[in-house]
Amino acid sequence: SSGETVLFLAERSTSDEVQARIVDLLAKIGTN
């Protein structure tokens, strides 16, 4: 699923900025 892919990318990412964007994206998905 796309959610698993996002989590996979988040775990591999070492950039706080990228992680913050992913969290923001997940938050937006959660509210829709």
Summarize pLDDT for 1-22 with one digit per residue, the tens.
677 887 777 777 667 788 888 8
Write out the residue range of the structural domain in which residue 21 sits.
2-31
Structural contact between residues 21 and 9, judged by C-beta atoms closer than 8 angstroms: no
Question: Could you tell me the two tokens for 32?
Answer: 């829709």
- The pLDDT, as a whole number, for residue 6 is 77
What pLDDT, on a 0 to 100 scale, did the predictor assign at position 14? 63
Q: What is the pLDDT of residue 13?
A: 62
Give the chain's domain count: 1
- Per DSSP, the residues of 1-32 read -HHHHHHHHHHH---HHHHHHHHHHHHHHHH-
Residues 6 or more apart whose CB falls under 8 angstroms from that of 22 comprise 6, 9, 10, 13
